[in-house]
């Protein structure tokens, strides 16, 4: 588990202790769908599949299990998150994001427009629509490394 005073996995530049940890541990609920989406990303990093399942909306949750979620992400190393946009009304919301991850030696990006609904006074993930640029990702040699080291790709994972 991440030290509480370190920046959160969701790339918010806020300490884990004040960002996703209170949401993951149910000390507080996600204030909006972006906060929920960030906490779901962090849960994937931490392999907290029970939390991920609990944050699905009722209808899609019926067809999922913790084991299925764990199996689908078995060899995935989640690296970083970029929130691109967020829009909401009183009961529905959308968040566009890019999640970068690694499987083996290959990098990937998941670019999605996620739909959220308010159920039982909490935000829940409903469904996601992938953008065509999702899939294998080739980092540029001089770009910052996706692993979060702060180094350039060529001096870190691109060796």
88-119 residue pLDDT tens = 888 999 999 999 999 998 999 999 999 999 99
Mark 38-57 as b/e (b = at least 16 C-beta within 10 Å). bbbbbbbbbebbebbbebbb
CB 37 within 8 A of CB 19: no
Determine how many CB atoms are found less than 10 A away from the CB of residue 112. 19
Residue 1 pLDDT > 70, yes or no?
Answer: no
Quote the pLDDT of residue 139: 83
Task: Give the span between the Cα atoms of 69 and 137, in whole angstroms.
Answer: 23
CB 153 within 8 A of CB 146: yes
Q: What phi and psi, each to the nearest 5 degrees, are found at residue 105? A: -100, 5
Task: Give the span between the Cα atoms of 52 and 40, in whole angstroms.
Answer: 6
Mean pLDDT score of the chain, rounded to an integer?
91
Quote the pLDDT of residue 3: 56
């Amino acid at each position: 588990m991440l030290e509480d005073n370190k920046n959160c996995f969701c790339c918010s530049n806020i300490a884990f202790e004040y960002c996703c940890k209170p949401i993951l541990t149910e000390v507080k609920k996600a204030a909006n769908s972006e906060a929920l989406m960030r906490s779901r990303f962090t849960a994937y990093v931490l392999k907290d599949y029970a939390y991920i399942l609990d944050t699905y909306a009722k209808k899609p949750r019926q067809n999922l299990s913790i084991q299925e979620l764990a199996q689908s992400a078995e060899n995935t190393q989640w690296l970083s998150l970029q929130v691109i946009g967020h829009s909401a009304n009183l009961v529905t919301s959308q968040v566009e994001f890019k999640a970068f991850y690694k499987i083996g030696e290959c990098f990937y990006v998941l670019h999605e427009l996620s739909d959220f609904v308010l159920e039982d006074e909490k935000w829940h993930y409903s469904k996601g629509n992938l953008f065509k640029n999702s899939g294998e990702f080739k980092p540029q040699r001089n770009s910052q490394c996706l692993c979060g080291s702060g180094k350039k790709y060529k001096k870190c994972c691109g060796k």
